[in-house]
Every structure is written in structure tokens, then in C-alpha cells.
Amino acid sequence: MFRIIKKETMAQGITALTITAPEIAAKAKAGHFVVVVAKENSERIPLTIANTDKTAGDITLIFQEVGFSTKELGLLNVGEHLEHLLGPLGTATHIENYGTVICIGGGVGIAEVWPVAKAMKEAGNRVIGILGARSRDYIILEDQLSLICGELFITTDDASYGRKGLVTDSLRGLLQAVEKSTHTQYPELVYAVGPVVMMKAVSELTKEYHIKTMVSLNPIMLDGTGMCGSCRVSVAGKVMFACVDGPEFDGHLVDFLELQKRLNSFKEKEACLNIACPRKT
Ligand code: NAD
Ligand code: FES
């Protein structure tokens, strides 16, 4: 069980693993995540299911190797097995025919946007994609998303590919074009996944235009089943658990500053522990 059948480097430090998991693949929907345990005694890592092949019975996870545990996961190779895989978890994305949906992915968040864009297209929506990354080398899944999106806009912070700037520059351009036009309409939904600052900036912009906006949050998670409280976030002033109530929430109601503060406090702890890259044994 949970055998790695494919491993691909998507960009520097971003790895895709395809894993045999027929029971999870059978139930998985866009927006679901799994909790991965790479080896006995490894940390539990929550990862969104980027792709599912229900016929073959496998799922694909795309992750950035940033800390000890994701680096440890990235050391596993084809033919090896994950110690454990729990899922599908979380509340699946609400999919319906809204009309026009703009899907925005920032950095490795592009991987989370892929299944949602696909499901939105299958539901009959016109899907517009905006992908942003630091530089050309970090733009992932462009070919896959260009097959789904009627229009696909790419931004890079350093101007190495597409338009120079942030995803919000492209979004603002699209919304301003609608404002000036007499025959185009605002999108019915914006769906955004990426760094917290990006999701905050996207939500602030769409709020000006009263466009419904969903974001997928990435707080620290432990059990992934609503038991430990580590993934708590504030939405519309209420405490919610991202692992069961989310991870998707209305971006206009999320307390992004609190989320960022909680994420930063964990980063400081990790840095204090001076965790080094794991070595394969
Ligand atoms: P990054 O920092 O390189 O940013 C990616 C893109 O986001 C940028 O190119 C830019 O277009 C946009 N962006 C960044 N800051 C912005 C701002 N202030 N305003 C508007 N747009 C902005 O991304 P990375 O290094 O790939 O990191 C990805 C981040 O996404 C990580 O922090 C990771 O934790 C997070 N993430 C979130 C989820 C989730 O479910 N929400 C999933 C995967 C990753
Ligand atoms: Fe423990 Fe959500 S991860 S309650």
C-alpha cells in the first residue's frame, strides 16, 4: 500500500509524487487533502491532492521541500512506500456552474488550483487562470492549466516570464478592463491559493468589486481530523478548524494577519531547533 509509482521534479525544490492509494482515489474530490507520514516516527504532513486517477487508483501530491519533514518526503523514491496516508480529508470545494471563475495560483499554490480549475471547467464554467511565481523556473503545471483555462495569464516577480509583477497586477488589469467595457462581465467567483500575503491581497482587491472569493488556508495541522485545534483560524470572527471546516473559506471574512502571525511563530520555533536536511538511511 501507498507505493510511490512516479516521482517528478516540477521545479527546483518542488516535487510531485504519484502514490498507489485506491481507496483514497475512489473518494477524492477537488479541494480534499491527505495527511502523509513518510517513515515510522515521521511528522504528519497535510498535502492537498493535486491529481487523482480513479481508474488506476492513484493520487498525486505536489509539495515544496521547505522543512525537515518535506525534505524527508522528497528523499523517497519510486518503488518505496509511505508509512501512512490518511484521507481524503477536509471539505471538498463547492463546485457549480457559476459562469466565469478566475483561478489564481501563487508559487506551489498552483498545484492546489489545478484540481479546482479542472472541476470548475467540467461543471461548465469559463475558467480564467492567473499563475504567479518568483521566476520562470517556479511556474508549474502551465501545460495542464492551459488545457483547462480559456485564458491563462502568467506573472513573474523578476520578469523572467510572462508579465512582470504579482498575480494581483494581472487580476487588477482584468477587473479594470471589465469596468471600462460595455459587453464583458465580472467573474462570479475568484479562487486563490498561495502565500498568505497573496490570498490577503487578492481578497482585498476582489472585495472592492464585490466578487465572491474563496481561498485555501494552510495553517499548521497535526491530526487533520478536528481533534487537536492546531489548525484554528478566525473567519468572520468565529474560530474554525481548517482541517474539517475548510481548508477553503470566504477570503473576505478570513483574519489573514492572525493566520500569518501563527505561521510565523512556528517558523521561529523550527529555526531555533536548527533542523537540518535529513539524510537517507
Ligand atoms: P512565493 O512567495 O514565491 O509567491 C508566489 C506568488 O504569489 C508571487 O510570484 C506573486 O505573484 C504572489 N504574491 C506573493 N506576495 C504577494 C503579495 N503581497 N501580493 C500579491 N501577490 C503576491 O510563493 P512560494 O515561495 O511558492 O510559496 C508558496 C506559499 O504558498 C508558501 O508560503 C506555502 O505555505 C503556501 N501554500 C499555501 C497553500 C494553501 O493551501 N493555501 C498550499 C501550498 C502552499
Ligand atoms: Fe487538528 Fe485541525 S489539524 S484540529
| Every domain of the chain and the residues it spans | 2-89, 100-216
C-alpha distances out from residue 62 to 50, 53, 117, 142, 263, Å: 6, 15, 16, 14, 20
**Is the pLDDT score of 173 beyond 60?**
yes
Ligand closest to 217 (CA) is 1
136-139 own/partner pairs: CB under 8 Å, 24+ apart: 136/160, 136/161, 137/11, 137/12, 138/11, 138/12, 138/14, 138/107, 139/11, 139/110
**Is the pLDDT score of 90 beyond 90?**
yes
**Per-residue pLDDT at 281:** 39
Q: What is the pLDDT of residues 100-133, one digit of tens each?
A: 999 999 999 999 999 999 999 999 999 999 999 9
Shortest CA distance to 223 belongs to which of 41, 83, 86? 86
- What backbone torsions phi and psi does residue 228 show, to the nearest 5 degrees? -95, -25
Q: Determine the topology of domain 100-216 in CATH.
A: Rossmann fold (3.40.50)
Atom of ligand 1 nearest to the CA of 166: 11
Question: In this structure, which residue's CA is closest to atom 4 in ligand 2?
Answer: 226
**Per-residue pLDDT at 183:** 87
Angle between helical axes of 167-180 and 196-208 (0-180°, round to 10): 10
SS3 assignment for 87-152: EEECCCCCCCCCCEEEEEEEHHHHHHHHHHHHHHHHCCCEEEEEEEECCHHHCCCHHHHHHHCCEE
Question: In this structure, which residue's CA is closest to atom 35 in ligand 1?
Answer: 195
Unique residue bearing C-alpha cell 480564467: 128
Shortest CA distance to 84 belongs to which of 32, 26, 29, 45? 45
**Exposure on the CB side of residue 13, measured as CA atoms within 13 A:** 10
Ligand 2 mean position, distance from CA 98 (Å): 31
At 205, which amino acid appears?
L
* CA pseudo-torsion sign 257, 135, 102, 153: positive
Atom of ligand 2 nearest to the CA of 228: 1
Q: What is the pLDDT of residues 129-166, one digit of tens each?
A: 999 999 999 999 999 999 999 999 999 999 999 999 99
Q: What is the pLDDT of residues 3-37, one digit of tens each?
A: 999 999 999 999 999 999 999 999 999 999 999 99
At 189, which amino acid appears?
L
Report the percentage of the chain scoring pLDDT > 70. Answer: 94
Tell me the average pLDDT of the chain. Answer: 93
**Per-residue pLDDT at 243:** 95
**Per-residue pLDDT at 272:** 58
Class of domain 2-89: mainly beta
**Per-residue pLDDT at 200:** 98
Confidence of residue 265 (pLDDT cuts 50, 70, 90): confident
Beta bridge partners of 152: 129
**Per-residue pLDDT at 112:** 96
Determine the length of the chain.
Answer: 281
